[in-house]
Structures are given as C-alpha cells and as structure tokens.
C-alpha cells in the first residue's frame, strides 16, 4: 500500500494532505522487526509498504497501523458521549485527531462510542469504527453484560437486591426489567450487571426500588474490565487478547 494511502486510512487527512506531509519530510517509518531501530524519513508519497504491523511517526508522533480501530477510554465525569454535546465537553475531544478523522463508509467519520454513558457517569467506554462490533455490543438482543458500580444515597438491604433481580417496571415499558446480577458490598454500594441499555436504566431501576444513584461507574463490558492503571480521561488501543474478551 502506498504510504500516502496508509496515512489516509489512519485519519491523518485527505490524500492530498497526507502526500504533503510526506513530501515535506514530516513522516518517518520504523524499520520492520527492529524495535530499537531509528525511523527513517520518507519523502515519496507513492512508496509502497506492507501496512499490517507498520509503525511510523507523523510530525513527531508515533503511530501503529490499524486496519480497524478498537480503543478503550476511561470516561471522566462532566463529559458527554456525543459528537455534538449540548452542555458539556465531548468525549471525542479526549482522543487524538486521527481517531476522530478516520475515513468511514458511513456519514460520520472516525471512531464511534459503543453506547453512551451519562455526563456524570464514569468508567469504561469502548470506541471503534468496526460497524459489526459496534452493533453487536450495543444491541440488547445480544445480551452483552455490563457491570456498574453504584453509590446509593440511602442505605439498601437484601430486599432491594431481590427486587432488582426479580425485575422492576419502568415508565416506558410495562415489561419488568431485571438485573442479571446484583450484590451489595455495603449498604451504600451496589454492583449491578445488566444486558439492556435503556435510557438512564440504572438510575431508573434504582429509583423504582425507592433509592437514588449518587454516583455511577461502569467497570466491565462483556469479559473486558477497565484496567486499574488507565486514569480518567486516558485512552489506549485494545490488545488482541482484550478484543477477544468482548466475544465472551
């Protein structure tokens, strides 16, 4: 694949912009298979490289080629999961420009969040440009479990836990919505596992048993848990092993 095409697929701009970056000496390519090798400047936009496994630098920033993007982000509070936020900053501002600009067959460029978290909810957020994975993880029909750590305003007991497991009725659906798992670590802290993704579902379920959510944190999606070393506001690529956990 030509180097200008590689940069284009990774979100570094139009093909013309990518060609200009290369011609101006802003792109360096690392030698394949040499982790300690020094990157070499490439000024020919049409020079061909094997894209898979290619590592390069653009204007001093190192980048690995990814045919499809799979990233995790530790969402902080006070951030909206929207491209066009209404009152709070967008979660997409926490990502580098290439991830936001990756070309896409859909009308919206860049990676997309897998579901949304409320602006005051923290925790694990996945973003990808893989439409099939996006649909599978976001669709309630596929029953992908999501684990939430809930801080409650009022102390709760086993009675509330059993009601959440049995199912509560929300105002937009006469069918009971139940938790797949529910446990109290102490009277003010609840761990809730859901497969659905209704609007404000956790908050509304907790309200249905007479309590109120003071803080909400998503710690797991499928078999993938938010790493302890990923600080709020930080993101990183998923490893192959982590990606495989999402199929569990």
What the block records as the tokens of 240 is 């192959």
Tell me the H-state helices in 113-217: 131-138, 158-166, 201-208
Between CA 115 and CA 103 the distance in angstroms is 21
What the block records as the tokens of 231 is 């600080």
Between CA 176 and CA 182 the distance in angstroms is 16
Catalytic positions, written as ranges: 118
Extended beta strands in 27-119, E state: 27-29, 40-41, 55-58, 61-64, 70-75, 112-113
Question: Which of 142, 167, 159 lies closest to 222 in space, CA to CA?
Answer: 142
Between CA 225 and CA 219 the distance in angstroms is 6
User: What separation in angstroms does the CA of 112 have from each of 21, 34, 81, 120, 126?
Assistant: 26, 33, 9, 19, 8
Between CA 234 and CA 236 the distance in angstroms is 7
Between CA 31 and CA 40 the distance in angstroms is 8
Between CA 163 and CA 177 the distance in angstroms is 10
């Amino acid at each position: 694949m030509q180097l200008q095409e590689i940069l284009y697929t990774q979100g570094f701009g139009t093909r013309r912009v990518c060609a200009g970056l290369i011609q101006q000496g802003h792109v360096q390519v690392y030698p394949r298979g040499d982790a300690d090798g020094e990157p070499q400047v490439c000024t020919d936009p049409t020079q061909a490289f094997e894209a898979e496994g290619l590592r390069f630098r653009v204007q001093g920033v190192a980048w690995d080629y990814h045919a499809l993007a799979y990233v995790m982000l530790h969402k902080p509070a006070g951030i909206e999961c929207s491209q066009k936020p209404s009152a709070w900053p967008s979660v997409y501002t926490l990502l580098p420009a290439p991830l936001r600009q990756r070309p896409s067959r859909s009308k919206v460029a860049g990676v997309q969040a897998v579901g949304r978290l409320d602006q005051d909810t923290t925790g694990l957020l996945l973003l990808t440009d893989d439409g099939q994975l996006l649909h599978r993880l976001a669709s309630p029909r596929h029953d992908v479990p999501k684990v939430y750590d809930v801080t409650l305003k009022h102390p709760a007991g086993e009675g509330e836990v059993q009601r959440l497991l049995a199912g509560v009725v929300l105002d937009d659906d006469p069918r009971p919505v139940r938790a797949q798992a529910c446990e109290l670590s102490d009277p003010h802290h609840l761990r809730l596992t859901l497969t659905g993704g209704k609007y404000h579902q956790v908050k509304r379920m907790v309200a249905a048993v007479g309590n109120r959510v003071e803080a909400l944190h998503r710690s797991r999606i499928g078999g993938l848990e938010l790493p302890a070393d990923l600080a709020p506001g930080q993101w990183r690529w998923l490893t192959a092993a982590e990606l495989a956990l999402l199929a569990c």
